Amino acid sequence: MAGVQDGAGDAAAHDAVAESAGTVPELAPGEEAAAERLFGDRLDLARRYVGHLATSGLERGLIGPREVPRLWSRHVLNCAVIESEFPAGAWVADVGSGAGLPGLCLAIARPDLSLTLIEPLERRVIWLEEVIEDLGLTNVRVLRGRAEQVADEVSVDFVTARAVSALSTLVPLTLPLLGGEGSLVAIKGRSAAEEVEKAAKVIRKHKGHSVEVHTVGDGLLEEPTTVVRIAVGSA
């Protein structure tokens, strides 16, 4: 019986992928204004990126089929809006980049930034490199490995991450990449303040300070993005 149930579940998942594959979501009227504001004359690149997410990204398991209809609102715009957190010409590392969220969104929205996407899984690294080549992005590179494994190779002004882990685990992984000075800009959910409270000792241990929880995209996105910002050094 278990085998029959498992087979049915696999078949349903396969059908969902097949149904969603090739369907590239369009921007809703309210989303289009936000996308134009965030991506400007590079909006066509953002559309192509969403096309990759909805096709090969889905087929290779980087995103789930249920996420396809909300790629713009829940993922791409949600990530791109944090571009306002970074000054011109900043060096930024995206830890656990996965499908390029938020790293590729930032690379498209802000060609002045220099992005390093840190991702341990080979299949994701291959996909990221394919997308970067197709989009012709010259301000981003992919580094395969876990954050703790590449700490000696990376020294940036800012580190960002989305849906990687709770702050108590994320802080030790990300703050060492700042080379003693810079900021972590982590995309978090509604429990951000609670995570900060639980991670207080870990943040102090790694010399983090000036902890802020705030939203970005107010008045631009239907649901603004919550960000936790933690500084080290004099940043």
Q: Which residues are documented as binding site for S-adenosyl-L-methionine?
A: 96, 101, 147-148, 162
The annotated binding site is made up of 96, 101, 147-148, 162
Q: 90 near 157, Cβ under 8 Å? A: yes
Residue 199 dihedral angles phi and psi, to the nearest 5°? -95, 5
Residue 169 dihedral angles phi and psi, to the nearest 5°? -95, -35
Q: 79 near 105, Cβ under 8 Å? A: yes
Is 159 strand, coil or helix? strand
In angstroms, rounded to a whole number, what is the distance separating the alpha carbons of residues 167 and 158? 16
In angstroms, rounded to a whole number, what is the distance separating the alpha carbons of residues 189 and 227? 8
In this structure, what is the dihedral angle of CA atoms 137, 119, 126, 43, given to the nearest 10 degrees? Answer: -30
Q: Which helix (H) or strand (E) holds 228?
A: strand 225-232
Burial 113-150 (b: 16+ CB within 10 A, else e): bbbbbbbbeeebbebbeebbeebebeebebbbeebeeb
Token readout for 59 is 């087929």
Instruction: Write the CB contacts of 164 (distance below 8 Å, at least 6 apart in sequence).
Output: 95, 96, 170, 173
